[in-house]
Amino acid sequence: MRRLPFALVATAIVIGCGGEDDPAPSPPLPRRPVTLDVATDSSVAQVSERYLSVAIDTAQVLGGKFWSKDGEVMSIVGDETRPPYDFGRPLLQALAGELAPAWLRVGGSAADVTYYDLGAQPVSEAPEPYELLLTAERWDSIVGFAAALDFELLFTLNAGAGPRDVDQAWTDDQARSLLEYAAAHDQEVGVWELGNEINGYPFILGPDSGVDAEQYASDFAVARQLVDELAPEALLAGPSSAYWPLGGEINPILEDWLDLAGEHVDVVTWHYYPQQSRRCPIAELRASPEMPLTPELLDNAAQWAAVVEAAQAEHAPAAPVWLGETGGAQCGGEPGLSDAFVGGFWWLDQLGLVASRGQPVTIRQSLTGASYGLLDEDTLEPRPDFYNSVLFRRLMGTEVLSASAEDDQDLIRSYAHCTRAGAPGAGSGAVTILVLNLSTTHVAEVSFAELDTTDALVWRLSADRLAAPTIRLNDQSLSLDDGAMPDLEPIPLAAETLALPPPAYAFVVLPAAGAAACP
């Protein structure tokens, strides 16, 4: 595996000239020519209008244990008790709205220990073996938040020990009470998901909590009947299997379950994290700043996506595959990485990679919270990946094109979509290209093969160091302006080539590309 020269960036990554006190300007960085080629005659995939979506963990919503911000404590399911989620914060609503339309997933490990009591006088605390309580007030706040922002709701139903009988079979009494309440109040839930990371139950819920493929298939048939009865317009999803970056699906269940239950499945969900944070008690790939800049490690996502897709194609060909949960590092994200500039290399690359495979939805864990939240939980200050996500959402349309880079060092990653309607430069034939320079030493001189660069627009994103908590757009630092979103304005492409410093990434809109695939 290639190891990047990180000694060269141990203290800072210099982009541009030195500081005022430097005795002399920094020497110019070496440059490497790179040619991007985009096939514009036809698309290779199509994703949902809600492709880039977000999650809020059930533990956050209900005031359970979630990952602490500092990440100093090792824990399987979180170590810090949070207050119930405040959906009513105006700034939260304004910033979250920048990502709409999207799916909002409310799920996570806490979903499987949640008791539903939606009566007028709910119990004061969840009965054993449940740990958290979902009341009508809390449920209404979830639904109201999603509806106000044009988020469709994906809700993970409890499939843990609580609703199981003495034979370990899932019973639908709890889920029925929730679906009946939603139906009675004309509340729309687009997707019901049965359980969170079924294959991880022995690790998350305890060694006696395992559910095998045969049992989960039986459980899913019961859930299928319930959804068909009470929410026939909704979809039913599972098994949200967890995949590790090197070993793949821990405690494999997905393919055997699909073989038994494929006819009942509307959406096949899987979870993937590219590394494990310092919070995780066990890890096969500890988080480091090297990972997001290493092509072989970025490609792990494609390996496991292909495995999931192959099982789906054989056993449930009508059900799309959704990447139902993903984040910069498992167990809350890695401080100084998942919440920093360097995390954007992984996030944007994986968004482009999964879209190119035709998976229509990717759900980011999480909108706020711990280190992998797009927004700081307490201050709501946007992290670099929030701005990355907003730009991806605004510029990358639903039609995916084939893109490749002629780069002998394999350190340029590129993805292309038809430009989203309403974006600057959008119009018939317009193309948006996402290009990432993983090099820490060379400026990439990017040319665009035979594409017309007339009136091209650039959004170049950089920082002065990998761990920077803020990001620059076209050399201007991004931050809230009196609580409002800053303008994310492009600059014109100054020449026929794009100079992309090391390391940095950029979106380029080519209004005159003339792509036949982009009407």
DSSP per-residue letters across 157-175: EP-SSTTB-TTS-B--HHH
Indicate whether 21 pLDDT > 80: no
At residue 483 the predicted structure's pLDDT band, cuts being 50, 70 and 90, is: confident
Pairing of strands 362-365, 267-272: unpaired
Q: What tens digit of pLDDT does each residue of 63-106 get?
A: 999 998 888 889 888 999 999 999 999 999 999 999 999 999 99
Q: What's the average model confidence in pLDDT over 456-465? A: 98
What is the per-residue DSSP string for 234-265?
A: SEEEEEEEEEETTTEESS--HHHHHHHHGGG-
Q: What tens digit of pLDDT does each residue of 114-156 get?
A: 999 999 999 999 999 999 999 999 999 999 999 999 999 999 9
At residue 26 the predicted structure's pLDDT band, cuts being 50, 70 and 90, is: confident
- Given this model, what pLDDT does residue 419 score? 98
- Given this model, what pLDDT does residue 23 score? 54
Q: What tens digit of pLDDT does each residue of 429-446 get?
A: 999 999 999 999 999 999
Q: What's the average model confidence in pLDDT over 8-27? A: 47
The structure tokens 């100079």 sit at 499
Phi, psi of 280 (to 5 degrees): -70, 125
CA-based torsion, 107, 192, 92, 397: positive or negative: positive
At residue 25 the predicted structure's pLDDT band, cuts being 50, 70 and 90, is: confident
Q: Where are the domains of the chain?
A: 6-39+400-510, 47-375
| Length, in residues, of the chain | 519
486, amino acid identity: P
Residues 6+ apart with CB under 8 A from 44: 356, 358, 400, 401, 402
Q: What's the average model confidence in pLDDT over 239-252? A: 97
Q: What's the average model confidence in pLDDT over 290-319? A: 98
Q: Are 340 and 467 in contact (CB under 8 A)?
A: yes
Q: How many helices (H) and strands (E) does the chain have?
A: 11, 25
Indicate whether 19 pLDDT > 50: no
Q: Percent of the chain, pLDDT > 90?
A: 89
Compute the distance between CA of residue 193 and CA of residue 178 in angstroms, rounded to an integer.
13
Q: Who wins on pLDDT, 269 or 409?
A: 269
Q: Which CATH architecture has domain 47-375?
A: Alpha-Beta Barrel (3.20)
Least confident of 40-44, 73-77, 485-489, 492-496: 73-77
Least confident of 206-210, 275-279, 313-317: 206-210
Q: What tens digit of pLDDT does each residue of 384-428 get?
A: 999 999 999 999 999 999 999 988 789 999 999 999 999 999 999
Residue 55 CB coordination number (10 Å) = 26
Compute the distance between CA of residue 470 and CA of residue 383 in angstroms, rounded to an integer.
6
Q: Are 161 and 209 in contact (CB under 8 A)?
A: yes
Residue 210 CB coordination number (10 Å) = 17
Indicate whether 7 pLDDT > 80: no
C-alpha 365 chain-centroid distance: 6
At residue 300 the predicted structure's pLDDT band, cuts being 50, 70 and 90, is: very high
CA-based torsion, 363, 149, 480, 431: positive or negative: positive
Torsion angle (degrees, nearest 10) of CA 491, 495, 496, 499: -70
Do the domains spanning 6-39+400-510 and 47-375 agree at the CATH topology level? no
Residues 6+ apart with CB under 8 A from 140: 185, 187
Residues 6+ apart with CB under 8 A from 400: 43, 44, 45, 46, 47, 355, 356, 358, 415, 416, 417
- Given this model, what pLDDT does residue 9 score? 38
- Given this model, what pLDDT does residue 202 score? 92
Q: What's the average model confidence in pLDDT over 247-274? A: 97
Cα–Cα distances in angstroms (integers) from residue 133 to residues 117, 122, 170, in the given order: 7, 9, 19
The first and second tokens of residue 143, run together, are 């639904």
The domain made up of 6-39+400-510 has a fold known as Immunoglobulin-like (2.60.40)
Q: What tens digit of pLDDT does each residue of 190-211 get?
A: 999 999 999 999 989 998 899 9
Q: Are 370 and 337 in contact (CB under 8 A)?
A: no
Computed over every residue of the chain, the mean pLDDT equals 94
Residues 6+ apart with CB under 8 A from 253: 198, 199, 212, 213, 216, 239, 241
Indicate whether 15 pLDDT > 80: no
- Given this model, what pLDDT does residue 241 score? 98
Q: What's the average model confidence in pLDDT over 346-351? A: 98
